[in-house]
Each structure stands twice: as structure tokens, then as C-alpha cells.
């Protein structure tokens, strides 16, 4: 991988470095493809490991292992990436949707009515699918308090019962909800593994917008990794194994990408 030195005074993280390398790879080696009604430049079948994405690199070189500290520095702008449109409060608000009930929406209209929420602005959110995963969509007497599963708690409990387990997984695609929908989760699957007291997340994206969404997606997963390790003694978050089927840049974003690469 080519080293990215950054602009003078710019904070570097492994997410920043990996993003700019992926932008270059996709821009230079991606193939043009028609996606729905948009043209994209696309790389198929991708894998990278993002090591300790919570750490603040040059010029500060600060290690972070606490989720509250991670949010503190995010609020301060230390995780802003030069050229990435989501910064400061917008990035912080996206990452903290795990704690904001007003942004963790259910996409089922009957459930929304029972919660006295008139309309969801999103078809889905990742926190909704991870923290409030609906497992029964046919029962007419559905109750949100008993028909939702917190998959993050399941991951934690599996690891607490067996720290070396390979069964600490979560699924975001729901055939009962998503089978007939156009908009379905881009992130489909998560796994947490622990080896030698280091927790690593494995994620699979069916489709990922490299310019518009990739960094914020990775910071969200970084925060999730820190939230999980915070419930354990002597565990640290070591990074993200990132897999994607389609990693792409929308044709309309190519001028902005070219500016970053220059």
C-alpha cells in the first residue's frame, strides 16, 4: 500500500489512509457499470484490514480504547478527513445513532403507529437492524418490546460465554422485510472474533458508496467495536476486516474524487 502523507497539519487515521488508497484503486482500476439509473466506477470482490481505526495518527499519535474518548475526539473534529463531506457534528450524529432513539427507526408501518411515530425518514438504519431486529412480521398483535432482538447483546453474551466463539454474528438483511423492497441494507452481515484478547469485527457489504459513505460506515463500525470491548475486562479493539461485493464511486462524484487525488 502506498503511504499517504496528507496535508500539513492534517490528522491521519487508518480509515483516512485506506480510504484514499481505495479511491485511487477504484478511480484507476475500476470498471464503468450502470447501477439502477446511475453510472458508477466499480471494483468487485474487495477485502482490506483496517488496523486500530480508533487511533489518532500523525501528528498526534494517540491511542484510543474507550468509546467515550473516541466520541470526544470525534466531536472535536480529530476524525475529520480532508475531502470527505461528512465532518464535525454531522459525522458525530451519524456515529451516535446507536444512542439516539429518534434516529433508530423501524421500517414497519404498523410498528411505527404503535410507537406513535408518524413516518420514518429512512427505510432502515444500521442501528435499527442491529439493536431492534424485527423477527416476527406476521403477528397482528405485535409488540415492540417483545418482538425485537438486540443483536449486539447476543454478540456480547456469546463472547462472555465463550470468548473464542465463532458464533458472535449479526444479520442486517431480513427476508421478511426486505424481500420485495428496492432499498435494502448495504451492510448485510457482522461477526466479532476475539483472539489473544483482541476483538476484531468482520463485515460484509453487498454494495458500498466509496466516496459518499465509506468513511462514516467505518467510523460507525469502529464505535461499535469499542462499545463491545468496553463491556469486557482486558479486551482491546484491534480493527475491521472489510469485505464488499461492489465498491463504487458514482460518476457524479468523480470530479470531487479527482480533486482529492490531486
The pLDDT confidence band at residue 149, using thresholds 50, 70 and 90, is confident
Q: What is the pLDDT of residue 177?
A: 74
pLDDT at 161: 97
The total of structural domains in the chain comes to: 1
- pLDDT given for residue 179 in this prediction: 84
Instruction: Kindly report the average pLDDT of the chain as a whole number.
Output: 86
User: Does the residue 174 lie in any domain?
Assistant: yes
Q: Rounded distance, CA 72 to CA 92, Å?
A: 9
For residue 230, tell me if it sits in a domain: yes
Q: Is residue 71 part of a domain?
A: yes
Q: What percent of the chain has pLDDT over 70?
A: 81
Better pLDDT: 115 or 196: 196
The answer to the question of residue 8 being in a domain is: no
- Mean pLDDT over 118-132 rounds to 70
Please determine, for residue 241, whether its predicted confidence score (pLDDT) is greater than 80. Answer: yes
Under the banding of pLDDT at 50, 70 and 90, the label for residue 36 is confident
pTM (2 d.p.): 0.87
CA distance 17 to 21: 6
Domain contains 236: yes
7 assigned to some structural domain: no
Q: pLDDT tens across 182-197, in order?
A: 888 999 999 999 999 9
Q: From CA 153, how far away is CA 166, in angstroms rounded?
A: 15
Is the pLDDT at 47 greater than 80? The verdict is yes
Q: Write a three-state SS string for the chain.
A: CCCCCCCCCCCCCHHHHHHHHHHHHHHHHCEEEEECCEEEEEEEEEEEEEECCCCECCCCCECCCCHHHHHHHHHCCCCCCCCCCCCHHHHHHHHHHHHCCCCCCCCCHHHHHHCCCCCCCCCCCHHHHHHCEECCCCCCCCCCCCCEECHHHHHHHHHHHCCCCCCCEEECCCHHHHCCCCCCCCEEEEEEEEECCEEEEEEEEEEEECCCCHHHHHHHHHHHHHHHHCCCCCCEEEEEEEEEEEEEEEHHHHHHHHHHHC
Higher pLDDT, 113 or 215: 215
Output the domain CATH number for residue 50.
Answer: 3.30.572.10
Q: Is residue 102 part of a domain?
A: yes
More confident residue, 238 or 148: 238
By residue range, what is the domain housing residue 214?
Answer: 14-261
- 215 in Cβ contact with 174 (< 8 Å): no
The per-residue pLDDT for 7 is 47
* Higher-confidence position of 175 and 159: 159
Q: Specify the pLDDT at position 148.
A: 66
pLDDT of residue 100: 63
The C-alpha atoms of residue 39 and residue 177 are separated, in whole angstroms, by 28
81-98 pLDDT, tens digit each: 999 999 999 999 999 988
**pLDDT band for position 57 (50/70/90)?**
confident
| CA 179 to chain CA mean position, Å | 22
In a 13 Å sphere around the CA of 149, the CA atoms on its Cβ side amount to: 14
> Looking up cell 464488499, which residue turns up?
244
Is 154 inside a domain boundary?
yes
Mean pLDDT of 8-32: 90
CB 155 within 8 Å of CB 192: yes
Cell numbers linked to 90: 454531522
Return the pLDDT at 141.
47
Amino acid at each position: 500500500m502506498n503511504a499517504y502523507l496528507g496535508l500539513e497539519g492534517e490528522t491521519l487515521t487508518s480509515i483516512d489512509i485506506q480510504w484514499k488508497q481505495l479511491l485511487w484503486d477504484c478511480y484507476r482500476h475500476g470498471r464503468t457499470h450502470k447501477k439502477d439509473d446511475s453510472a458508477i466506477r466499480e471494483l468487485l470482490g474487495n477485502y482490506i484490514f483496517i488496523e486500530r481505526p480508533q487511533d489518532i495518527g500523525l501528528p498526534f499519535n494517540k491511542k484510543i480504547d474507550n468509546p467515550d474518548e473516541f466520541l470526544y475526539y470525534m466531536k472535536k473534529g480529530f476524525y475529520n478527513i480532508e475531502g470527505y463531506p461528512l465532518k464535525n457534528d454531522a459525522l458525530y450524529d451519524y456515529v451516535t445513532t446507536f444512542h439516539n432513539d429518534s434516529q433508530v427507526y423501524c421500517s414497519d408501518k404498523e410498528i411505527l403507529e404503535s410507537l406513535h411515530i408518524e413516518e420514518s425518514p429512512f427505510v432502515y438504519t444500521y442501528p435499527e437492524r442491529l439493536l431492534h431486529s424485527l423477527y416476527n412480521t406476521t403477528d397482528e398483535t405485535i409488540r415492540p418490546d417483545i418482538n425485537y432482538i438486540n443483536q449486539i447483546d447476543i454478540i456480547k453474551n456469546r463472547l462472555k460465554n465463550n470468548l473464542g466463539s465463532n458464533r458472535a454474528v449479526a444479520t442486517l438483511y431480513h427476508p421478511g422485510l426486505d424481500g420485495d423492497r428496492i432499498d435494502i441494507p448495504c451492510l448485510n452481515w457482522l461477526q466479532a472474533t476475539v483472539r489473544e484478547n483482541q476483538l476484531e469485527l468482520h463485515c460484509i457489504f453487498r454494495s458500498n458508496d466509496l466516496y459518499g459513505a465509506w468513511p462514516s460506515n467505518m467510523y460507525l463500525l469502529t464505535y461499535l467495536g469499542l462499545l463491545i470491548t468496553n463491556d469486557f475486562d482486558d479486551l482491546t479493539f484491534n480493527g475491521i476486516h472489510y469485505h464488499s461485493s461492489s465498491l463504487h464511486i458514482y460518476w457524479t462524484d468523480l470530479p470531487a474524487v479527482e480533486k482529492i487525488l490531486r
